[in-house]
Amino acid sequence: MGGTIAKYVAEGKKVVKVVFSHGEKSIPHLQEAVVKKARFQETDKASIYIGISSCKNLGLRDTRLRSDVQKPFVIRRLREMIMLIRPEKIYVPSALDPHPDHQAVNKIVFQVVKSLKRHYPLYAYEVWNVVRETHPQVYVDISPYIKIKMVYIKMFKSQWVYMLSLYLPTLFRSFYYGRKNNCQYAERFYKLK
């Protein structure tokens, strides 16, 4: 959703990014500490580049989010962050994303948002989805921001294998969504709440 982030930043909106884990298990042939450091530096650099005003990292264990996000301190921390920031919109990975950590983030954020008295609009974005959600679809014109989005993706160098497999499909998907919405490039989201 890099194009939408860039668009919101250009509109003067404050964007806060919450990272649940460092992804330390994503490169098995490297030591976890090395991967953590690289991912942390990349996230900071990419966040500054695209204009994210604040990046918060919960520091949970990669590949263990299903159990970790259910811990009371995580739920409490998420509730506190949402109530303090009071976001206009909240975005989470799709529940249909095949990555179990992405599914866990979707589930726990949905659960926390649902438990709050105040209404917070919740949207899902696509990462690895091959199955389309059944929720209402919302498209955002990112035509002026496509180059920023593609540079942003390339900034995660430690994830080059994954990014390489996502890079062209992301570009084609943005073009396809744009054609469906009478613009050059767009991103699709699913309205969950």
Taking CA atoms, 151 is separated from 46, 49, 57, 155, 163, in Å, by 9, 9, 22, 6, 11
Provide the strand spans (E) within the chain: 16-21, 54-60, 90-93, 122-125, 137-141, 186-191
State the pTM of this model. Answer: 0.86
Quote the domain boundaries for residue 56. Answer: 2-191
Name residue 141's beta-bridge partners: 186
The CATH number that applies at residue 115 is: 3.40.50.10320
pLDDT at site 127: 80
Query: What is the number of domains present in the chain?
Result: 1
Task: State the Cα–Cα distance between residues 119 and 97, nearest whole angstrom.
Answer: 25
DSSP state, residue 188? E
pLDDT at site 17: 95
Task: State the Cα–Cα distance between residues 33 and 39, nearest whole angstrom.
Answer: 10
Task: Give me the chain's average pLDDT, please.
Answer: 86
The mean per-residue pLDDT over the stretch 117-135 comes to 85
Give yes or no for a contact between 131 and 96, defined as CB atoms under 8 angstroms apart: yes
Give yes or no for a contact between 160 and 170, defined as CB atoms under 8 angstroms apart: no
Name residue 55's beta-bridge partners: 17
Task: State the Cα–Cα distance between residues 101 and 130, nearest whole angstrom.
Answer: 17
Candidate from 67-71, 110-114, 146-150, 174-178 with smallest mean pLDDT: 67-71
